Structure 1
Amino acid sequence: MAQATATSNHRTPRRPSEYLWNTPVWLALAVYAIVIVYPLLWMVTSSFKTSSEILSDPWGLPEVWLVQNYADAWSRGISGYFLNSIIVTAVATVGTVLLAALCAFGMIRMNPRAGSAILVLAMGGLVVAPQVSLIPLYQMLDRLGLLDTLWAMILPYIAFRLPMAIMLIRSVFLSIPRDLEDAATIDGCRSLGVFRHVYVPLSKSVLVTASVLTGYFAWNEFLFAIVFVNSESMRTIPAGLMAFRDALSTDWGVLMAGLVIAALPIIILFLLMQRYFVAGIAAGSVKG
C-alpha cells in the first residue's frame, strides 16, 4: 500500500517532446472551439443591437445594450412558438425513450434469432432519410386528419428517432447481469416490474443520452415543421422564425433575440446533462 502511494505521488514527469506532440492537437481544438463559439457570441451581441448597428458595425459591441429586443421578440410571436416547441419536444422525447426502452427490453428477452431480426429491421430505419418519406408521410397524415396539428410533428419525430434509441438502450440492457433479473423475479416482480426496478435504474445514463439526442432533433427539426403545419398558431420555433423574419422586415436585432431564445433551452439542457450524456454514449458503445 505504501509502495503504491509512493508510486502515485512520484509520477514520471512528461518529457518536452510529449508536449510538442500534443501542441498541434491543442491548436486544432482551439481553432475548432473558436469556429463553434464565435458565431454564438456574435448572435448574442447582435441581439442587443439595433438593425442599423448590425448593418453598419456587425463585429463591434452595441453602443446601448437593448434588452427590449427580447421583450419585443417574445411579444411578437416567439412565446407561442416556444410553447409549441416545448410540447412537441417533450412528448416526442418521452414517447421515443419509453417505446425504445420497452422494445429493447423485449428484444433481449425473446429468442436470440427473433431479437436479431428485429434489430436488423430497426437498423434499417437509420438509412431512411426523412426527405425520402416526405410525400408518403404527408398523404398518411392527411388521411388520418392529423395535418396542421402538433401530432403531425410528434409522430414522425418518434418514428425517426426510435431506431437510434433502440440500439443505444439495447446495448446497455445486454450488459445487465441476468442474476439481478432472476432475483427480482424471485421477489415477485413480473416482466414490467423487472423492467421498472432493475433495467431502468441501471440504465439512467443511456436513457438520458437518448432523451438529449431526441430532444435536440425535435427542437431543431425544420422540414416536417414547415410542410405538415400551416397554421401560425401551431408552428414551432424553427418554422416560426422563418415567418418571424418576414414579419419583422429589417428588424434584425429582434430576430437575433428570437434566435438566442430558441437556442438557449438546448444549450442549458446539454450543459446540465453533459455528465450523463457522455457516460451514456460510452455505455451504449460497449456491446452491440
Structure 2
Amino acid sequence: MMSGTAGQLKGGSVKTRSGAAGKIGYVVLYIILIAVAVFQLFPLVWLLFFSLKNNQEVFNLPPLSLPTHPHWENYKKVWSAGNIDVYFLNSVWITIVATVLTVVLGSLVTYAITRMKWKGSNLVLGLFMVAMMIPVHSTLIPLFSMFNKIHLIDHPLSLILSYVAFNMPITIMILLGFYYALPKEVEEAAVLDGCSVNQMFFRIVLPMTSSVLATTGIINMIYNWNEFIFVNTFISSDKFKTLTVGVQNFIGQYTTDWGAIGATLMISILPILIAFLFLSDRIVEGIAAGSVKG
C-alpha cells in the first residue's frame, strides 16, 4: 500500500511539473509573439507620427516622438493639391479589374488542367510554373517595346495586362491543390443531370471554391495595390498614375515635403491594412484548404 501511495504521489508530482512547464512555455510563447507584433507595428507607428510633422520636426525631433503640433493639414494638402484623390481612384479600379481578371482566368486554367483530360495539360502547367522564375525587371524592356508598338504606353491597359500575366502563376499554384481535392462525384452527377461544362464551372465549381478564391483575390489585390515598377515605367500622365508613384510629386529638385510624403504613404497603406484585418481568416482558410491533395 505504501509503495502504491508513493507511486501515486510521484505521478501527481510529475503531472504538476509538466503542467507548470506547459504554462511557462505558453507565457514565453506569448511574450515572443507580443515582441514580434510590436516589432511589426513599429514602422506603422513611426509613419503615423512622421506624417503629422513638418520638415523641421522630422529632422530635429527623435523618430518616435510625438509632433509638437500635429499637422493634419498634410493629409488635406496631399488629397487636394497633391492630386492624390485621382491616384487613389486609379489604384482602386486598376487593382479591382486586374484582380478579378486574374482570379477568373486562373480558375478557368486550373479547372481545365485538373478536371479535363487533354494532351499538353502537363506542358501548359509546367510553362505557368516556369513563369514564376522570370524576374520582373528582366521583362521591362521587352514589355515596353511591345506596348509601344501597340500604342498602350501611358494607358491603364498596360498595367492590367502586366498584373494579370505576372499573377497568373501564383494564382494557379494556390488553386491547384484545392481543385485536385474536389470530389469528382459532384461533377459526374451534374453531367447526368444534363449540365454543360460552362454551367458546371460557373454554377458548381466556383461556389465550391469560394474560400480559395478569396485567398487568391486578397493576394492579388495586395500585389496590384503596392506595385511600383510597371506604373513608373509605362505611365507618364498624372491622370493614370497610382498611389505608389504619386508620392514622387512631393520630391523636388531643391526641397522635399517629408510630411506630405508620410501622409501619402499612410493613405496608401490604410485600405490594404483594413482589408487584411477583416479578411485574414479567409487567407489562412484558403491556403489550408488548398494545401492537401485528395
Query: Does the alignment reach a TM-score above 0.5?
Result: yes
Amino acid at match of 1:168: I
Equivalent-residue separation in structure 1 for 2:234 and 2:195 (angstroms): 43
Amino acid at match of 1:207: L
| TM-superposed deviation, 1:173 | 1.4
Equivalent-residue separation in structure 2 for 1:248 and 1:35 (angstroms): 34
SS in 1 for 2:293: coil
Query: Deviation per CA, 1:103-127, whole angstroms, max 9, x where unpaired?
Result: 1111123227633222211111111
Equivalent-residue separation in structure 2 for 1:131 and 1:51 (angstroms): 34
Please point out which of 168, 174, 177 is paired with 1:168: 174
Task: Show the counterpart of 1:34.
Answer: 38
Cα contact 1:97–1:165 (8 A) shared by 2: yes
Task: Show the counterpart of 2:252.
Answer: 246
Equivalent-residue separation in structure 2 for 1:113 and 1:171 (angstroms): 21
Please point out which of 70, 79, 94 is paired with 1:74: 79
SS in 2 for 1:200: helix
After TM superposition, the structure 1 = structure 2 runs for residues 1-288 of structure 1, keeping only pairs within 5 Å, are 15-22=19-26, 25-57=29-61, 58-75=63-80, 76-111=82-117, 114-246=120-252, 249-287=255-293
Amino acid at match of 1:68: E
SS in 2 for 1:133: helix
Cα contact 2:250–2:257 (8 A) shared by 1: no
Cα contact 1:81–1:236 (8 A) shared by 2: yes
Task: Show the counterpart of 2:5.
Answer: none
Give the 3 Å change call, closer, same or farther, for CA 246–152 of structure 1 in structure 2: farther
Larger Rg: 2
Amino acid at match of 1:44: L
Equivalent-residue separation in structure 2 for 1:30 and 1:113 (angstroms): 52
Cα contact 2:250–2:256 (8 A) shared by 1: no
Unaligned regions of 5+ residues in structure 2, if any?
A: 1-14
Count of aligned pairs between the two proteins = 277
Query: Deviation per CA, 1:238-261, whole angstroms, max 9, x where unpaired?
Result: 112123333893322222111110
| TM-superposed deviation, 1:21 | 4.2
More deviation, 146-155/45-54 = 45-54
Equivalent-residue separation in structure 2 for 1:287 and 1:90 (angstroms): 30
Equivalent-residue separation in structure 1 for 2:254 and 2:170 (angstroms): 38
Unaligned regions of 5+ residues in structure 1, if any?
A: 1-11
The percent identity for this pair of structures is 35
Amino acid at match of 1:145: H
Query: Deviation per CA, 1:180-237, whole angstroms, max 9, x where unpaired?
Result: 1122223332111111121111111110111111111111111111111122222111
Query: Deviation per CA, 1:2-21, whole angstroms, max 9, x where unpaired?
Result: xxxxxxxxxx8862223444
| TM-superposed deviation, 1:39 | 1.0
Equivalent-residue separation in structure 2 for 1:246 and 1:265 (angstroms): 27
Cα contact 1:207–1:280 (8 A) shared by 2: yes
Amino acid at match of 1:48: L
Taking structure 2 as the reference length, the TM-score comes to: 0.87
RMSD: 2.1
